Structure 1
Amino acid sequence: MQYAFSFFYFFDYKIIQNAMWKHYLKVAWRNLKRAKTFSLINIIGLSLGLTCSILILLFVKDELSFDRFHEKGQQIYRINSKSTVNGETGQSSITGTLEGPRFEQNVPGIKAFIRYQQAGTNIKRGTDVEPLRLFRTDSNFFQVFSFPLIAGDPATCLKDPYSIVLSKDEAIRQFGSTDIIGKTIQLKQDSAFVPYTVTAVAKNCPENSSIRFPALALFRASKADEQNDENWFSHYLNTFVLLDKNANATQVEHQMQKYFQKDASGTFHAMLQKFGIPENSISLPIYQLQPLERMHLDKDVHSGNGIVATGNITNAYIMGPLHFLSC
């Protein structure tokens, strides 16, 4: 008897609830018809508010997600430098040939380095010549960064000086297919076109990546270049380092600067004398480690030479609260 009573009570409640909803809908419809202009303004305002809120949320989410897809992302840092010239202090993300190999060899805690340089060139197809956005990097690029390959071996695809890796879109643009391992393309090198063999095809870089490449080839530095101490001060590329899991970035940074001062200060002062630059007009650079995952939103260090332009963390901080206020 008790169960029967509960059933009928629930049944009556659902009927009443449905009737109430119908009543509310009728009242709302009558109000809409009675005040059409006012109702239209409210509906448009609500729609615009929701749209703006969603767009702000997507913008903030995208900005904060930059470079966070790399498996070893929390161990990857970009080498930046800070120097004072004529009393003005500035920061730069551009380094030279020597920072990567010398810090790896002489500073505990650094497992690997990656140099990354924009080195656009021309490509020849038949008699047609067109520009190619080529980037050069070290052979362990795909072992440090998490850019998946559609085809090819990440450990060996950049070992050969005349190998090239194409993105999916670039492979289709050049060959009409991604099944192109072993095929060759003609790249301009100095004054001649040289055949490069396709050794891998990479998935297109994510939109929230600071590194985006259509084509990658091996970075080249001669033995003479890597032995020339003046190249500490010839800055034209980006250098990333992979730290040990247990390494302390602050301590590594300190050891980098200590080694740099020991190895390069003599060359620095000799170059000042060589070019007639007053000693007190420029300081020896101070090296810093910038976490990869914070790189995009660091407005104090502008990216260059192949790295996607930086955003501004202030915008993310402002837009975030605006999203919640607009809800």
Structure 2
Amino acid sequence: MFKNILKVTINSLLKHKSATLIKILGLSIGLTCCLIISIYAIDEFKYDKFHQKHERIFRLLTVDKRNGEISADQPAVMLQHLINEYPEIKEGTRIFSWGKSSVKYQDKLFLERRIFLADSNIFKIFDFPFIIGDPINALNTPYSLVITESTAKKYFGNKNPVGEVMLFDNNQIFTVKGVIKDVPVNSHLMFDFLGSFSSLSKVDNNILTSWNYSFSYIYLLFNNNSYSQVSEKSEGFLKKYRNERISKIINLKLEQLSSIHLKSYDTKSDIAIKGSIKFIYAFSTIAILILIIACFNFTTLSTAQTRLRAKEIGVRKVVGANQTNIFFQFMFETVMFTAISFSLAVMLSLFILPYLNVYLDKQLSLNFSILAVLFIISLIVIPLFAGFYPAFILSRLKPIFIIKGDFDTQILKSVIGKSNNFSFRNIVVLIQIVFAIVALISTILIYKQLKYIDRINMGFDKENLIVIENPNDDQMQSRYDALHQFGMSSTNIESVSAAYDIPPKGASSYYKLRLEGKSKEEDIQMAAIAVDPGFLNTIKCSFIFGNNFVGNSSTSNSMQVIINESAMRSLNLSNPIGEKIIGLDGANPFVISGVIKNIYYSSLRDKVEPMVFYVQPWANAYIVIKTKTNIVKPTIEELKKNWEQIAPNHIFQYSLMNQNIESVYIQDQKAAFLFSIFTFLTISLSVFGVIGLISFTIESSIKEIVLRKIFGASILNVNLIFYKKLIGVVLISILISSPLSYYIVESWLQEFSYKVNITFVPFLLISGAIIVLIFACISLLIYRGNKLNIIHALKQL
């Protein structure tokens, strides 16, 4: 019996080649999207789960009760107090992000960025396997260093690096104590160098013992599931070790290790490599929708073939086949379609993944176990969803109707539906139009937001700004002075200045500031940016009150500050010039000498926070150079040659300010591009499906069209009849899709503090375009039917 079913199935596939190709192509596209999104989602959800104890590892966060802001950086001194206070904590470690550094070994010099410092017990919490060295003692002394396998080969080749010394920033000497395997790509902590946390005590021991410095990231390993005690008792803990005021406004929160990558998108001061759970949900939904549309098209095309296969079914029933035999025959055909489509989807995925990996900077690959599971699910779900209805319709065809030629009116009405019924046809049309409109509107509005970001006035001139990273050593000031002198003598350069923090990196320091004479309860947290006196002029900020710092030296401006509009409002001042604030340097007051318009110092996802700019001699971590228009490239060449003379032991590392700002939204841009591809597929499949269903409906009504033509009906009259059949469905689709699109886009826009206004224009234009497209298809198909010879058409019916 199975042999006969297989033979009939193969014959059917080969006989109806066009329909077979369309069905397989549609299902293959849907399954390819599902495969790729599944692989991507599984990879994202696997982050940090390679650590055996990942379920018991948590990161400590602080939550500001006043505004809900979550921060990841903590005072280093907090860890020991936590261990003393909570016996359920088995181990704890602190991690410090060193940032960029020039690293030298003999004649090899590289600028490195992935450098962490950590406590010696980090290897008791995390699983970073050692190749060489002892994990217990590797980081137990200051200036000890563990490097990754690829870093060891980069600097030492095949030589054993243990015992060798490496020079950081030309003034910090670390001794290599061990080599570990490269950190897996699905780790939220990515590093090439791991130094001992105790090395910080040699720089300034106060930062390890003071509550005023929040720069470390605390990870805790718990004995059991009693970790909730930390959050529940946080107020008492902070009151005991900090003060009552802090305990009232700050709460401690624990974040599970495996949740950090996808669920800490809004966490401030973070070192984690972040993904987005919203993107995964969005793309997963789109992939499933594409597959659903493909299944609908499969169902529609299968039922449309009823007329072509009526004689086959009639003959088989006459010779003894029952309804169950026919039903399973067509269900098996769907299984075959699914298997072929899945195989084609695997081949398409193998072709697409290398390009996708380059675009997303990932290492995605097809896994046999994942494929096996998805294949089994597909063989069960798709035949039930796409094949059940056609098999049910076809198996119900009765030989008597086929012989009379009357199966159109008896059976196909269940597919086509009466004009006044909400039939299967109407449901399919409605769903496909809803999917198309939602996808198109969402894509257009997402691109509008990205264009808005690109064109928004940042509050300063981001163009023609070259940023040079100044290595952190005792020669920082002399390098800056030499570069400043060179810049002022160059005809290509307008100005040279510097700052400790620059856009779009945001501020690294925050202070509680208040007006002189006010109480501590009126403290306002402000981002404190240490700058060179000419920095605000170099980036061309606009002043509302006052002027830039008076004088060119840091000494002459040491007690002046400039604030932004947000800070002025927070301080409740109408004209703050001459007012004094305290908190930057103990009780010493600073005079407000100017107010600038708000500038976007970080992502547009964040609101412009109160900011204070003050002058410091060490504020030259980033040297900012304003060039004249359209001569950025030759200026870079000049600067590089000059740098090689003034800093031969350091790599010339530069970037452009406008590109740095664009890079903040690169993930959004990539997501939008992929979203647009999925949208194109969704719309294409939806439109083809709707057109196919309309064509099927009109073809099945060709007798009606011909008879109306005989009795004198015009093409317009016939068009109006079919318009009426679908106009209700189209309008309902628009009513459903419009609020759904608005909800989807508005949810995404919630991540941005500054966003476009959603108007009704895209909704009206797209809805109108859909109506015109559908009615145009109806008119074209009816026009073709109207061109038929009446006698010939009647003979065909």
* TM range, smaller chain: 0.7 to 0.9
Q: Does 1:93 align with 2:78?
A: no
Amino acid at match of 1:172: K
Q: Does 1:130 align with 2:115?
A: no
In the alignment, what sits opposite 1:141?
122
Partner-residue secondary structure (3-state), 1:89: coil
Amino acid at match of 1:68: K
Higher strand share: 1
Q: Does 1:312 align with 2:276?
A: yes
Q: Please point out which of 237, 243, 246 is paired with 2:222.
A: 243
Runs of 5+ in structure 1 lacking a partner? 1-12, 270-281
Q: What is the rounded CA distance, in whole Å, between the counterparts of 2:268 and 2:15 in structure 1?
A: 58
Q: What is the rounded CA distance, in whole Å, between the counterparts of 1:61 and 1:213 in structure 2?
A: 23
Q: Deviations over 1:32-85 (max 9, x none)?
A: 2xx3xx55444433332221111111122122222222122122111101114x
Change (3 A) 1:301 1:241: farther
In the alignment, what sits opposite 2:188?
210
Amino acid at match of 1:206: P
Q: Does 1:150 align with 2:135?
A: no
In the alignment, what sits opposite 2:255?
290
Q: What is the rounded CA distance, in whole Å, between the counterparts of 1:39 and 1:176 in structure 2?
A: 57
Higher helix share: 2
State the 1:204 CA deviation. Answer: 1.6
Q: Does 1:29 align with 2:14?
A: yes
Q: What is the rounded CA distance, in whole Å, between the counterparts of 1:185 and 1:179 in structure 2?
A: 14
Q: Does 1:54 align with 2:35?
A: yes
State the 1:176 CA deviation. Answer: 2.3
Assess if the C-alpha contact under 8 Å between 2:117 and 2:194 holds in 1: yes
Partner-residue secondary structure (3-state), 2:230: helix
Correspondences of 1:253-292 after superposition (within 5 Å):
253-265=231-243, 284-292=249-257
Q: Determine which structure has more spread, i.e. the larger CA radius of gyration.
A: 2
Assess if the C-alpha contact under 8 Å between 1:91 and 1:300 holds in 2: no
Amino acid at match of 2:214: H
Partner-residue secondary structure (3-state), 2:30: helix
Q: Does 1:173 align with 2:137?
A: no
Partner-residue secondary structure (3-state), 2:263: coil
- Superposed CA RMSD in Å reads 2.8
Change (3 A) 1:181 1:96: same
Q: How many residues align?
A: 285
Q: What is the rounded CA distance, in whole Å, between the counterparts of 2:93 and 2:64 in structure 1?
A: 23
Assess if the C-alpha contact under 8 Å between 2:145 and 2:195 holds in 1: yes
State the 1:129 CA deviation. Answer: 3.1
In the alignment, what sits opposite 1:225?
207
Amino acid at match of 2:16: N
State the 1:264 CA deviation. Answer: 0.7
Q: What is the rounded CA distance, in whole Å, between the counterparts of 1:226 and 1:21 in structure 2?
A: 75
Q: What is the rounded CA distance, in whole Å, between the counterparts of 1:321 and 1:283 in structure 2?
A: 41
% same residue: 25
Change (3 A) 1:150 1:259: same
Q: What is the rounded CA distance, in whole Å, between the counterparts of 1:226 and 1:192 in structure 2?
A: 21
Assess if the C-alpha contact under 8 Å between 1:183 and 1:198 holds in 2: yes
State the 1:301 CA deviation. Answer: 4.0
In the alignment, what sits opposite 2:145?
164
State the 1:112 CA deviation. Answer: 2.0
State the 1:324 CA deviation. Answer: 5.2
State the 1:124 CA deviation. Answer: 1.3
Q: Does 1:116 align with 2:101?
A: no
Change (3 A) 1:175 1:306: farther
Amino acid at match of 2:105: R
Assess if the C-alpha contact under 8 Å between 2:70 and 2:268 holds in 1: no
In the alignment, what sits opposite 1:274?
none
Normalising by structure 1, we get a TM-score of 0.76
Q: What is the rounded CA distance, in whole Å, between the counterparts of 2:226 and 2:272 in structure 1?
A: 26
Runs of 5+ in structure 2 lacking a partner? 292-377, 379-797
Assess if the C-alpha contact under 8 Å between 2:230 and 2:253 holds in 1: no
Correspondences of 1:12-27 after superposition (within 5 Å):
17-18=2-3, 21-22=6-7, 24-27=9-12
Assess if the C-alpha contact under 8 Å between 1:107 and 1:256 holds in 2: no
State the 1:161 CA deviation. Answer: 1.6
State the 1:23 CA deviation. Answer: 5.2
Partner-residue secondary structure (3-state), 2:188: coil
Q: What is the rounded CA distance, in whole Å, between the counterparts of 1:305 and 1:317 in structure 2?
A: 23
